[in-house]
C-alpha cells in the first residue's frame, strides 16, 4: 500500500473530451479553400530560386518554366508555347502550395502559443528577502516565489512547497495539476498559472529558450531538419532527374536524324522532362514530413525533430512502464479469501470497516468491492459513535478501527501477523498459504484480523491486484502484427511482473528494473540493429530516454527527463507511446505510397508524349497512342496539365496520411504496390484522356 499523496482536484473533462492542441484550425476540412488562399502568398514567396534549389526536382521544373517563358515571349502568337509555360508555372506553384498549407497549420498553432506568453514580473529570492524583477531578467539557477494567482515567469523545478497549477495554456487540459518539490512531478512551465498555495521555483531555462519558445520554433517548422530518409529519397529523386535529363537531351539528335526536328522543339522537350521526372513526390515530400509532426501536435505531443517522428515509424522494440501505462496504476481489491472457519461475508464486512479510515486508492477499492460484491452498505466514519479510527501510515502499514470493544485491522501480512501475536492470538495455518498463493499469482495480499471477546485472529486475505487497462492485450497484439516487440518495465518482483505480463500480453518484461538495467536493455536491443522507444518522467529515467531512439518524456516529469527525451507528451499519458509509433509508421507509409504512385504514373505520360513527338515522322509509332489522343499538341498539353493537377489532388492525402492498418512490412509493400502502384498506372491514362477530350472541344485547339 502507498502513502497518502496530495489529492489531485477532480478532472472536469478527460483528454478524449477536450479539443486537441491545434484542433479546430482546419475548420473547413483538408480541402478548405481558406487554407489554400491563406497559403498562396507563401507559395509565391517560395518561388525564390534559393528556396527551390533545396528540392532538386522542383528546381528543374522552375528552370524549365523560365526557359519556356523566354521561348513563348520570343513567339507571342504561339498559343501552345504559352499554354505549356502557364501549366509549368502552375506545377511549380502547386508544389509550393502543398508545403505552404502544411506549414500554415504549424504557424496557426505557433500563433496560439504566442498568445500564452505574457511579460511577467518575478519575485526573485535574494539573501535578504525578495525583489521584483522582469521575467526577462531571470537567469538559470534563480529562485522565484509564486503564490495563488501568479503566472510562473519561466521554466523550472519546484524546490519548495506544493501547489495546484493551471497548465491549460500549454496542454489544453482544463483540470489543474499538482506540482510539488522532491519528486518526479516538480517541473513547471513558464506561462502557466498557480491556482493555490505557495511554491518556490528554481529557474532552469534562459529567457527566449523556454519550453514554449522551443515549441513555437518547432511547430512553425523553422527548426525542422530533413530526416535521413528524406535526404536519401531526395538523392534518389535527384538521380532520377539527372537520368531523365540525359535521356531527354539525347532525343534531340535522334529527332534530327529521324526527320522529326520540328516536333521536338525545346518547349516539347521541356514538357517531356517535367512529365517524366518524379514531380508528384518531389512536390509533396516536404508537406508529408511537416504534416507528420502536425499530427503529433494535434495529439498534444511535441517532437523535438522530424528525425524522432521518422524513427518512431521504424521502432521495433517498445519499452513500456507497467504502472500507469499497462495497468491503471493503483492496485484494486479483486477478491476476499477467508481462512477456514470464516465466511467470505464476515471477511468482507471486517475488511470494509477497517478500510474506512484508509484514504489510499487501495483502501477505497476494498470498500467498493465489499459494497458491490456482498451488498454491504458503504458506511461513514461519523455513523459509528465512539469509534477510534486508525489511518494507514507507512510506519504501521495498517488501518482499522476500535469500536464497541472490538478491534479490526487490515494491512501488510507481516504487520497484521505481528499485531495478532502481540495480543496473544493465533494465525490460522492457511493464512500464510493463501497470502503466498496470491503473491505467486502477481497480486498483493492484505491480511484482515479482529480482536474481540473470542481473542485475536486472522479472518482472511484481501487480494489486491494491478488492473490491466481495458484493450491493452488487443493493442499489443496489433503491435506484434506490425513486427514490434513489447517489453514491460517494472520495479516489481519477477513473480508479480510475470503475472501482469501474461495478463497484458506483452512479449517480455524486465523486473526490479534500475536505471542501469534500462540502459543495458536499450543498448542490447540497439546492438542487434533495432530501434527502441520508451517513456519516462523521472530524473532516473533521463539516461535511458537519451539513449533510446524515441524517448517520450512526460510533461509532468522533471526538467532532466524533458531535456533527455526527443518528444514531450503534454498530456503525460504513457500509453500515447503506442499512438506515436502508429503516427510514425503512417508517415513512412504515406511517403512510400506517394513515391510508388509518382513513379508509376510516368508510364501514361510516356505513352502520351512520345507518340506525339515522333508519329509524324514515323507513322508506325502511332500504335503507341493507345489512348487515342486528339492531336500531338493536345496530347502533350494534356500530360502537362494532369502532371500539375495531380499534385493538388494529392495534397489532402499528404496532409492526412495514408490510413495505417497493423500488418507486416511485406503485407504493407504488397498493398502499396496493388493500390498506389496500380493506381499510379491507371489514373493518368483516364485523367489524360479526359483532359484531351476537353481540350479538343476548345475552338482553336481542337
Q: Determine whether the annotation assigns residue 410 to a binding site.
A: yes
Q: Is 395 labeled as ligand-binding?
A: yes
The phi and psi torsions of 122 (rounded to 5 degrees) equal -100, 145
| Residue in the structure block whose three cell numbers are 506517394 | 594
Q: What is the DSSP string of 573-608?
A: -TTHHHHHHHHHHHHHHHHHHHHHHHHHTHHHHHHH
DSSP-derived secondary structure letter, 521: H
Longest CA pairwise span in the chain (Å): 119
Which cell is 410 given?
487490515
The residues near 343 (Cβ < 8 Å, ≥ 6 apart) are none
| Residue in 467, 451, 457, 472 with CA at minimum distance from that of residue 402 | 451
Residue with cell 521502432: 315
492 counts as catalytic? no
Distance in angstroms (rounded) separating the CA atoms of residues 296 and 303: 7
Say whether 534 counts as a known binding-site residue.
no
Q: Is 537 annotated as a binding residue?
A: yes
Dihedral sign (CA 155, 180, 579, 192): negative
155 alpha carbon, distance to own chain's centre: 23
CB 284 within 8 A of CB 594: yes
Q: What does DSSP say about strands 567-569 and 550-554: parallel, antiparallel, or unpaired?
A: parallel
DSSP string for 330-361: EEEEEEEEEPTT--HHHHHHHHHHHHTT--SH
Enclosing H/E stretch for 379: none
Q: Which of 383, 385, 381, 348 is nearest to 367 (CA)?
A: 348
358 is in an annotated binding site: yes
Whether the CB-CB separation of 241 and 56 falls below 8 Å is answered with yes
Dist. CA 92–CA 62, nearest whole Å = 6
Element (H, E) at 157: strand 156-166
Does residue 392 have a known ligand-binding role?
yes
* N-term to C-term CA, the chain: 85
Residue 396 assigned to a binding site: yes
3 among annotated binding-site residues: no
Check whether 398 is labelled as a binding-site residue.
yes
Choose, from 213, 294, 321, 492, the residue flagged as catalytic. 321
Beta bridge partners of 409: 400, 449
Please tell me the distance from the alpha carbon of residue 490 to that of residue 117, in angstroms, as a whole number: 38
Phi and psi (nearest 5°) for 638? -60, -40
541 marked as part of a ligand binding site = yes
The catalytic site residues sit at: 321
Which amino acids are annotated as binding site for ATP, given as ranges?
358, 362, 392-399, 410
Which amino acids are annotated as binding site for Mg(2+), given as ranges?
537, 541
Which amino acids are annotated as binding site, given as ranges?
358, 362, 392-399, 410, 537, 541
Amino acid at each position: 500500500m502507498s502513502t497518502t499523496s496530495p489529492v489531485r482536484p477532480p478532472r472536469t473533462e478527460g483528454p478524449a473530451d477536450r479539443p486537441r492542441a491545434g484542433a479546430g484550425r482546419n475548420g473547413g476540412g483538408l480541402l478548405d479553400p481558406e487554407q489554400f488562399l491563406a497559403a498562396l502568398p507563401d507559395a509565391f514567396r517560395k518561388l525564390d530560386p534559393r528556396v527551390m534549389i533545396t528540392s532538386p526536382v522542383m528546381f528543374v521544373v522552375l528552370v524549365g518554366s523560365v526557359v519556356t517563358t523566354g521561348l513563348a515571349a520570343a513567339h507571342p502568337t504561339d498559343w501552345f508555347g504559352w499554354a505549356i509555360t502557364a501549366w509549368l508555372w502552375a506545377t511549380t506553384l502547386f508544389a509550393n502550395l502543398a508545403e505552404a498549407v502544411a506549414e500554415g497549420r504549424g504557424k496557426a498553432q505557433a500563433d496560439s502559443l504566442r498568445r500564452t506568453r505574457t511579460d511577467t514580473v518575478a519575485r526573485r529570492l535574494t539573501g535578504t528577502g525578495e525583489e521584483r524583477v522582469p521575467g526577462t531578467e531571470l537567469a538559470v539557477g534563480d529562485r522565484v516565489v509564486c503564490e495563488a494567482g501568479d503566472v510562473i515567469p519561466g521554466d523550472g523545478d519546484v524546490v519548495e512547497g506544493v501547489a495546484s497549477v493551471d497548465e491549460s495554456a500549454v496542454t489544453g487540459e482544463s483540470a489543474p495539476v499538482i506540482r510539488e518539490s522532491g519528486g518526479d512531478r516538480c517541473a513547471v512551465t513558464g506561462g502557466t498559472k498557480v491556482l493555490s498555495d505557495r511554491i518556490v521555483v528554481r529557474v532552469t531555462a534562459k529567457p527566449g529558450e523556454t519550453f514554449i519558445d522551443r515549441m513555437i520554433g518547432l511547430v512553425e517548422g523553422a527548426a525542422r531538419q530533413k530526416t535521413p530518409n528524406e535526404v536519401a529519397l531526395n538523392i534518389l529523386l535527384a538521380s532520377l532527374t539527372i537520368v531523365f535529363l540525359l535521356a531527354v537531351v539525347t532525343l534531340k539528335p535522334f529527332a534530327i536524324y529521324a526527320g522529326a526536328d520540328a516536333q521536338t522543339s525545346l518547349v516539347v522537350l521541356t514538357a517531356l522532362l517535367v512529365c517524366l521526372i518524379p514531380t508528384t513526390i518531389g512536390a509533396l515530400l516536404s508537406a508529408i514530413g511537416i504534416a507528420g509532426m502536425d499530427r503529433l501536435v494535434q495529439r498534444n505531443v511535441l517532437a523535438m525533430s522530424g528525425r524522432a517522428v521518422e524513427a518512431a515509424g521504424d521502432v521495433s522494440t517498445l519499452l513500456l512502464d507497467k504502472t500507469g501505462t499497462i495497468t491503471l496504476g493503483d492496485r484494486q481489491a479483486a477478491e476476499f479469501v477467508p481462512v477456514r472457519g470464516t465466511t467470505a461475508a464476515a471477511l468482507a464486512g471486517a475488511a470494509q470497516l477497517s478500510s474506512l479510515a484508509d484514504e489510499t486508492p487501495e483502501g477505497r477499492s476494498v470498500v467498493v468491492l465489499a459494497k458491490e460484491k456482498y451488498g454491504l452498505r458503504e458506511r461513514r466514519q461519523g455513523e459509528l459513535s465512539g469509534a477510534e479510527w486508525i489511518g494507514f501510515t507507512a510506519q504501521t502499514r495498517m488501518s482499522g478501527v476500535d469500536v464497541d470493544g472490538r478491534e479490526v485491522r487490515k494491512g501488510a501480512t507481516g504487520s497484521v501477523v505481528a499485531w495478532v501475536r502481540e495480543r496473544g492470538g493465533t494465525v490460522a495455518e492457511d493464512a500464510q498459504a493463501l497470502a503466498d498463493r496470491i503473491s505467486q499469482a502477481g497480486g498483493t495480499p492484505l491480511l484482515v484480523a479482529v480482536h474481540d471477546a473470542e481473542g485475536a485472529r486472522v479472518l482472511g486475505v484481501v487480494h489486491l491486484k494491478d488492473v490491466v487497462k481495458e484493450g491493452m492485450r488487443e493493442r499489443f497484439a496489433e503491435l506484434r502484427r506490425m513486427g514490434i516487440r513489447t517489453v514491460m518495465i517494472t520495479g516489481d518482483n519477477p513473480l508479480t511482473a510475470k503475472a501482469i505480463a501474461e495478463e497484458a500480453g506483452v512479449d517480455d518484461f524486465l523486473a526490479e528494473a534500475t536505471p542501469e538495467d534500462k540502459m543495458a536493455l536499450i543498448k542490447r536491443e540497439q546492438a542487434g540493429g533495432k530501434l527502441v522507444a520508451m517513456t519516462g518522467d523521472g530524473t532516473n529515467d533521463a539516461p535511458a530516454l537519451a539513449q533510446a531512439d524515441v524517448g517520450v518524456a512526460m510533461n509532468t516529469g522533471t526538467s532532466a527527463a524533458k531535456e533527455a527525451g526527443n518528444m514531450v507528451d503534454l498530456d503525460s499519458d504513457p500509453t500515447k507511446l503506442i499512438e506515436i509509433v502508429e503516427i510514425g509508421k503512417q508517415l513512412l507509409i504515406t511517403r512510400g505510397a506517394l513515391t510508388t504512385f509518382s513513379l508509376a504514373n510516368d508510364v501514361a505520360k510516356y505513352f502520351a508524349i512520345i507518340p506525339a513527338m515522333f508519329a509524324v515522322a514515323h507513322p508506325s509509332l502511332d500504335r503507341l497512342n493507345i489512348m487515342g489522343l486528339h492531336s500531338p499538341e493536345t496530347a502533350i498539353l494534356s500530360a502537362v496539365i494532369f502532371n500539375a493537377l495531380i499534385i493538388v489532388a494529392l495534397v489532402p492525402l499528404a496532409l492526412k496520411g495514408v490510413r495505417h492498418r497493423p500488418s507486416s512490412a511485406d503485407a504493407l509493400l504488397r498493398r502499396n504496390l496493388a493500390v498506389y502502384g496500380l493506381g499510379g498506372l491507371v489514373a493518368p491514362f483516364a485523367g489524360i484522356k479526359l483532359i484531351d477530350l476537353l481540350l479538343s472541344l476548345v475552338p482553336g485547339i481542337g
